[in-house]
Chain A
Amino acid sequence: MALLELRNVSKIYTLGGEVIRALDDVSLDIDGGEFVSVIGPSGSGKSTLMHILGCLDSPTHGTIQLDGQMIHSASAKQLAHIRNQKIGFVFQFFNLLPKMNVLQNVELPMIYAGISGARRRERAMEMLKMVGLENRARHRPSQLSGGQQQRVAIARGLVNDPRILFADEPTGNLDSHTGEAILELFRELSTKGRTIILVTHDPEIAAVTSRRIEIRDGKIASQVDPRLAGLDRVATAPVAG
């Protein structure tokens, strides 16, 4: 059983009588330890897919299994728990809390996990050390550069040791040099066995990952999947459910 299994997942918005199929009958398997990029033009449904996979949103149709748990039918409380325990997010705009310092931001997921104060501090410092920001623990996010803020966000995303790390355009707001450093960090995490799903519209960034899923108009247009009969084989049809 794969870590993530999507079967015929659709997300449909109706706006003033107009039906928008942000995701249209998507089926997909992702195994533990994979480094996957989701690529596609603007408005193709990448973020929508990530939100649904990340338990931030529910699909209109279809089933999703994450780590043995059916999440398309889970309650809001269960979804919050899954987000807390099994999922980490890194966003384009960092999404750190401006009134808290770096350490407190990294501690935040552990607060909702009910971990004690001393243990939280210890673990958060550990994560900050990993991203090279242990000497910035008492700074406010606004006192850090964009690349540093994104590192804090990655530290926060990994602090509860999630099964999957989702990153939506994590370099979209950074200059190319800083962006590269962040990508390097992802690659490093991947080699240590972390499952990472990276959303981007930039083919160069997508090239960093072994597996690429291209989305167009809410459908999987093509995949580069090293698992399917050798490296760099292009499968043009969506994976059958």
Chain B
Amino acid sequence: MSFWNTIGSGLREIWAYKFRSLLTMLGIILGVSALVAMSALVKGMENGTREALVAAGGLEKIRVEPQYELPAHQRHLLDQAPGLTMEDVYALESGAPLVHQVTPAVEQYRYREPMVATYKGKTVEPFLVMGSWPAVLEINEHVIEHGRMFADLDEEQASSVCVIGTGIRDELFGEPEGDETGVVPIGETIYVNGLPFTIIGMFERYESESAKKEREFRRLNPQPAEAAGPVRSRGWGGNRGGGHFIFRMKNNTILIPLSTMMLKFRGMNGISSTGEAAPVRLSNLNMKISRIEDLEPAIQQVRNVLMMTHKGIEDFTFRTQEDWAEEIQNVIRNARLSGGVIAGICLIVGGIGIMNIMLASISERVREIGIRKSVGATNLDVFVQILVESTVISVLGGIAGIGTSYALVGLIASFTPTDNSPVVTLNAVSIAFAFSVGVGILAGLYPAIRASRLHPIQALRYD
């Protein structure tokens, strides 16, 4: 019996029992759409976090932070711990060839000790006020869109200049609706904790690819209902065009020269020094490596240098994006696993449904099988016929499931954050399809064996 004949008779059988077949397919439809939707969701998360990872400086970035909790055997040395100082920076510049662009930073986070920026009666508490060297631009993956970054000269002279993110601009100068460029407040003077700073540059608006796409979509298809709504202050964490934490943080940053930070804001908590003569403690050191493979040796090198300058007291710690990336990978793996388990259960249930219906079907068709055998069907012919029927059911279910998965993904997309918006991949679709074929074959196996083993006479006598 030819393949197409078998498929044809399978389809005829399914068509003869449309409603029953549809109910049987439901399990497979659910399983396949769960599988595709889950993988689309995970893919969206992966995309979102990968972009965030790059925005945070990428895997090549190493950050050294002070550690106030010393290792147990060094506890008694706490009062001698020097903290991160400029001395470390100079030592690393000469002593750690695997890293480059060592950049010190003094940072004031809003959640620790908020600073206030004001402009003509409007105020904002920036998420981060950071004093650093010009090179921080590259290390933290910042891009200046308007004006300029402060230069070494500004650093030497401790100029009162700043570069701001669009989030700060939005709060202090307003966020023009629909205007792509917006206000460019270069040259304006804002007050940071009461001290005047001239804005010399502004970053581009940081956002994920999908958030950008959505914003562009909205710009091209303005929705009047929304535009007419009251304009609220969204704070630095406003979620329009915001998305991932990293993007919001970068947009709500004020960047000033390191020397200015040390000079003007000395005495604040984060910039405190142990005495008038003692060097200023830095919030962190940022540096980059050239090749990701060098990460481990580079960290070792930096550690060796710092152990020297810190006289063996380990009051610092390393932060790489690798830890973070690993954490994200874990979250994604868990999401994938739980989604996979759900989809797997759906598929198993669907498979059992198919097996059940095939068993019912063959016991209704014992006589038919007897007739087919009496005119020359071999056991293999009968086996293949039943197997093809169950596979056709599950393949139809699989195709329908792929169809519904698009609807499901659309539904999920409407309530996931934009930068994690789910992405249906061809890979996921083909895997789901392959699973539905596999389930159909597995589910049909036992009924097909039973049918093929029916004795022709007993089958003919059956009624």
* Interface residues of A, Cβ cutoff 8 Å to B: 51, 54, 56-57, 76-77, 80-81, 83-85, 89, 91, 95-97, 99, 108-109, 111-114, 156, 160
Chain A nearest Cβ from B378, distance in angstroms: 4
Find chain B residues with CB under 8 A from A112 CB: 1, 372, 375-378, 381
Q: Please tell me which one of the listed residues B2, B12, B379, B457 contacts residue A80 in the complex, with CB atoms under 8 A apart.
A: B379
Q: Which residues of B (9-39) have their CB < 8 Å from a CB of A?
A: 12-13, 16
Question: Are A97 and B371 touching (Cβ within 8 A)?
Answer: yes
Measured CA separation A83–B373 after assembly (Å):
8
* CB contact between B378 and one of A76, A89, A91, A160 (< 8 Å): that residue: A76
B residues 437-463 with Cβ under 8 Å of A? 455-457, 460
Asked if A109 and B376 sit within 8 Å, CB to CB, the answer is: yes
- Chain A residue numbers with a CB within 8 Å of B370 are 95
User: Which of chain B's residues have a CB closer than 8 A to the CB of A96?
Assistant: 371
Residue of B nearest to A54 (CB): B374
Q: 17 A–B contact pairs at CB < 8 A?
A: A56-B374, A77-B380, A80-B381, A83-B374, A83-B375, A83-B376, A84-B376, A95-B367, A95-B370, A95-B371, A96-B371, A108-B372, A108-B375, A109-B376, A111-B1, A111-B5, A114-B2
CB of A111, distance to nearest CB on chain B (Å)? 5
- Minimum CB–CB distance from B161 to chain A (whole Å) comes to 85
Beta-carbon contacts under 8 Å, B356-397 to A: 367-368, 370-381
**Smallest Cβ distance from A115 to chain B, in angstroms?**
10
Decide: A99 and B16 in contact? CB cutoff 8 A: yes
User: Is A85 a contact of B376 with CB atoms below 8 Å?
Assistant: yes
Interface pair A76/B16, CB less than 8 Å apart: no
Q: Which residue of A lies closest to B15 (CB)?
A: A99
Closest to B4 in A: A117
Q: Which residues of B contact A85 (CB under 8 A)?
A: 376
- Find A89's partner among B367, B374, B379 (CB 8 Å cutoff): B374
CA distance A85 to B375 in the complex (A): 9
A114 to B381, CA, bound (A): 11
Give the A-B pair count, Cβ closer than 8 A: 65
Interface centre among A80, A81, A91, A109 (most CB of B within 10 A): A80
Give 1 or 0 for each of B282-300: 1 = CB within 8 Å of chain A CB: 0000000000000000000
Contact A51 B376 (CB under 8 A): no
In the bound complex, CA of A84 to CA of B381 (Å): 13
Known: A57-B457, A112-B1, A114-B2. A81 touches B374 (CB 8 A): no
Measured in the bound complex, the distance between the Cα atoms of B375 and A160 in whole Å is 10
Residues of B within 8 A of A95 (CB): 367, 370-371, 374, 460
Residues of B within 8 A of A54 (CB): 374
Contact A156 B375 (CB under 8 A): yes
Looking at the assembled complex, report how far the CB atom of B451 sits from the nearest CB atom of chain A, in whole angstroms. Answer: 14
B376 x A81 contact (CB < 8 A): yes
**A76–B1 touching, CB < 8 Å:** no
Report Cα–Cα, A6/B380, bound state, in Å: 29
- Measured CA separation A99–B389 after assembly (Å): 15
Residues from chain B with a CB closer than 8 A to the CB of A83 are: 373-376
Tell whether A77 pairs with B379 under 8 Å between CB atoms, given A95-B374, A99-B16.
yes
Contact between B379 and A76, CB atoms less than 8 A apart: yes
- Cα distance A30–B370 in the bound complex, in angstroms: 26
CB distance from B366 to the nearest CB of A (A): 12
A113 to B457, CA, bound (A): 21
Docked-complex contact B378 and A77, CB < 8 angstroms: yes
Residue of B nearest to A95 (CB): B371
Question: Which residues on the A side are within 8 Å of B372 (C-beta)?
Answer: 97, 108, 112
- Chain A residue with Cβ nearest B367: A95
B449 to chain A, nearest CB (A): 14
- For the complex, give the distance between the alpha carbons of A179 and B378 in Å: 32
Extra contacts besides A112-B376, A114-B1 (6): CB < 8 Å:
A51-B457, A77-B379, A80-B373, A80-B379, A84-B376, A111-B5
Question: Measured between C-beta atoms, what is the minimum distance from B20 to chain A in Å?
Answer: 14
For residue A77, which residues in chain B have a CB less than 8 angstroms away from its CB?
378-380
Contact A80 B377 (CB under 8 A): yes
Distance from B11 Cβ to chain A, minimum over Cβ atoms (Å):
12
Q: How far is the CA of A111 from the CA of B378 in the complex (A)?
A: 12
Q: Give the residues in chain B near A76, CB-CB below 8 Å.
A: 378-379
- Report B-chain residues with C-beta under 8 Å of the C-beta of A111: 1-2, 5
Chain A residues with Cβ below 8 Å from B5 are: 111
| Residues of chain A within 8 A of B367, CB atoms compared | 95
- The distance in angstroms between the C-alpha atoms of A127 and B233, with both chains bound, is 87
Q: Which residues of A contact B377 (CB under 8 A)?
A: 80, 112
CB closest residue in chain B, given A91: B460
What residues on A are CB-neighbors of B381 within 8 Å?
80, 112
Q: How far is the CA of A160 from the CA of B376 in the complex (A)?
A: 10
List, in ascending order, chain B residues with CB within 8 A of A51's CB: 457
Q: Do the beta carbons of B378 and A80 come within 8 Å of each other?
A: yes
Q: Which of B368, B376, B456 contacts A113 (CB 8 A)?
A: B376
Q: Give A96 to B367 CA distance when docked, in angstroms.
A: 10
The 10 closest A-B pairs by CB, nearest first: A84-B376, A80-B378, A109-B375, A112-B376, A56-B456, A83-B376, A95-B371, A57-B457, A77-B378, A112-B377
Chain A residues with Cβ below 8 Å from B368 are 97
**B460 → chain A closest CB, angstroms:** 7
Residue of A whose beta carbon sits closest to that of B12: A99
- List the A side residues contacting B455 at CB < 8 Å: 57
- Kindly list chain A residues whose C-beta atoms are within 8 Å of the C-beta of B374: 54, 56, 83, 89, 95
| Cα A227 to Cα B301 with chains together (Å) | 111
Determine if A84 and B375 form an interchain contact, defined as CB atoms under 8 angstroms apart. yes
**Within 8 Å CB of B2, what residues of A?**
111, 114
Q: How far is the CA of A96 from the CA of B374 in the complex (A)?
A: 11
Minimum C-beta distance from B189 to chain A (A): 87
The complex places the Cα of A199 from the Cα of B70 at a distance, in Å, of 102
Bound form: Cα–Cα A96–B2 in Å: 21
Across-interface contacts of B1 in A (CB, < 8 A): 111-112, 114
Residue of A nearest to B6 (CB): A111
Give the distance in Å from the alpha carbon of A80 to the alpha carbon of B379 in the complex.
8
| Chain A, residue nearest B460 (CB) | A95
Which residue, of B1, B5, B375, B380, has the highest number of chain A Cβ atoms within 10 A?
B375
Bound Cα distance A91, B368 (Å): 14
CA distance A57 to B456 in the complex (A): 8
